[in-house]
Amino acid sequence: MKVSEAATHGRRAVIELREKIVSGELPGGMRLFEVSLAETLEISRTPVREALSRLAEEGLLDRLPNGGFVVRRFGYEDVIDSIELRGVMEGTAARLAAERGASPEGLARLHEIVEKIDACFGEGDAVDFDAYSDLNEDFHRELAGLCGSEMIRREVERASALPFASPSAFLPNRMEIAAFRRSLRSAQEQHKAIVNAIVGREGARAEFVAREHARTARHNIEYIFNKDPDLLAKIPGLALIHR
């Protein structure tokens, strides 16, 4: 058996089912039955139950009042709202880091990430997307934990958990649109402003730049919905959106 596979049937089931939900293969509103899933995945009902329970925790499934699960249905408004919530949570993490003070180590790591992101930009519109995407995630993860509170870190991460709420959800793998690439530069300016505000103990500024930063994602998704809805099925994590 492959080592790369998660050790247990339960973990594997979580991964496979998540993939099927995110890809839209199990569409929103569909009820999931333990027996049929067990047959599909070729395991018994027990690890299936385990997996369903974890996916409910993750927010991809809803529990029915009398037992059973349905795939949660997400619409345009839910995407907007979850981006809004991520902005609010990241804003709170930034504000608390400014108000309560951030550890020198954390700030150093954040500065380092920002510098590395700078290095992703070349002449003109050229951007190293893959590197930017990874570093962007690092930045947001570091920000979440910066104020030193485990509870804040945890809840900020949670707000980024849904596939379309993540900070790099729309950081286009091979997106050719020039406006999107340019938006990365202004996003990086916001990264710097957030760090600067935290260093200067400017809580309100840190909070609201972080919120505005999340608006970039909202702007992108609005563009996609209005101008290029075909992209919906193509961008990972957007295929499950109900139209």
> Interface residues with DNA (CB under 7 A)?
7-10, 31-36, 43-47, 49-50, 66-69
Asked whether the beta carbons of 117 and 105 are under 8 A apart, the reply is no
- What's the angle, vertex CA 164, arms to CA 166 and CA 127, rounded to 5? 60
Q: How far apart are the first and last CA of the chain?
A: 40
Rounded Cα–Cα distance for residues 59 and 123 (Å): 41
- What's the angle, vertex CA 181, arms to CA 180 and CA 183, rounded to 5? 65
Site for its own copies in 136-155 (CB under 8 A): 149-152, 155
Q: Which is nearer to DNA, 33 or 179 (CB)?
A: 33
Say whether residue 34 binds its own copies (CB under 8 A): no
Say whether residue 160 binds its own copies (CB under 8 A): no
Site for its own copies in 60-119 (CB under 8 A): 77-78, 81-82, 84-85, 88-89, 92, 96
Q: Which is nearer to DNA, 45 or 192 (CB)?
A: 45
Q: How far is the CB of 68 from its own copies (least distance, A)?
A: 13
- What's the angle, vertex CA 123, arms to CA 118 and CA 224, rounded to 5? 75
Considering CB distances under 5 to 8 angstroms, the limit depending on partner class, which of DNA, its own copies, none binds residue 57?
its own copies
Asked whether the beta carbons of 95 and 146 are under 8 A apart, the reply is no
The interface mask with its own copies, positions 35-54, x = CB under 8 A, is --------------xx--xx
Asked whether the beta carbons of 87 and 213 are under 8 A apart, the reply is yes
Say whether residue 231 binds its own copies (CB under 8 A): no
Asked whether the beta carbons of 30 and 36 are under 8 A apart, the reply is no
Residue labelled with tokens 């349905």: 70
Considering CB distances under 5 to 8 angstroms, the limit depending on partner class, which of DNA, its own copies, none binds residue 215?
none
Q: How far is the CB of 1 from its own copies (least distance, A)?
A: 17
Residue 157 exposed, middle or buried by CB count within 10 Å (0-12, 13-18, 19+): middle
Q: How far is the CB of 113 from its own copies (least distance, A)?
A: 24
Residues that bind its own copies (CB under 8 A): 49-50, 53-54, 56-57, 77-78, 81-82, 84-85, 88-89, 92, 96, 149-152, 155, 159
